[in-house]
Amino acid sequence: MLHHFVLLRLKADITPQQTDAFINEAREVLGPIQGVQNLRVGFGLGVKSERSYPIALIMDFEDEAALEAYQVHPEHQRFVKEIVGPIQDDKQVYDYLC
C-alpha cells in the first residue's frame, strides 16, 4: 500500500468560504478518480510554526503504478492547475510505502 500526502498552505487572502469550497471540491473531484482509495481531507489543529501546512489531503494507492496513473489523470491535472494553483501559497508532497 502506498500513502500519498499533500500538505497545503493557502494564500493569506483566502476566505474561510473559499477554503471550505476547496475542501468540498477536493473530495468531489479526487475521490472518484480510479485508483484513489481512502481519501481524507482535513485541517490541522492550529498553527504549530510559521512553516505550518494547515490543510492535508491524504489518500492511498495499491502501488506506484496506481499513483503514477493518478498523477497524469486529466481530472487530477485540472484540479492542480485550476483549483489548487490559484489559492496555494506552498505545498509539500510525500509518498510512503507501508
Query: Among 51, 31, 47, which residue's Cα sits nearest to residue 39?
Result: 31
CB atoms within 10 A of CB 22: 20
* Res. 88: pLDDT tops 70: yes
Looking at the structure of the chain, the number of domains it has is 1
CATH number at residue 34: 3.30.70.100
Q: In this predicted structure, what is the pLDDT of residue 52? A: 85
Q: In this predicted structure, what is the pLDDT of residue 44? A: 84
Q: Is 59 exposed, middle or buried (0-12, 13-18, 19+ CB in 10 A)?
A: buried
Joined together, the cell numbers standing for residue 19 give 477554503
pTM of the model: 0.90
Contact 44, 53 (CB under 8 A): yes
Q: Could you give the residue ranges of the DSSP H alpha helices within 1-98? A: 16-30, 64-72, 74-78
Mind listing the pLDDT tens digit for each residue in 2-53?
999 999 999 999 999 999 999 999 999 999 999 999 999 998 887 667 778 9
Segments forming the whole domain that contains residue 24: 2-97
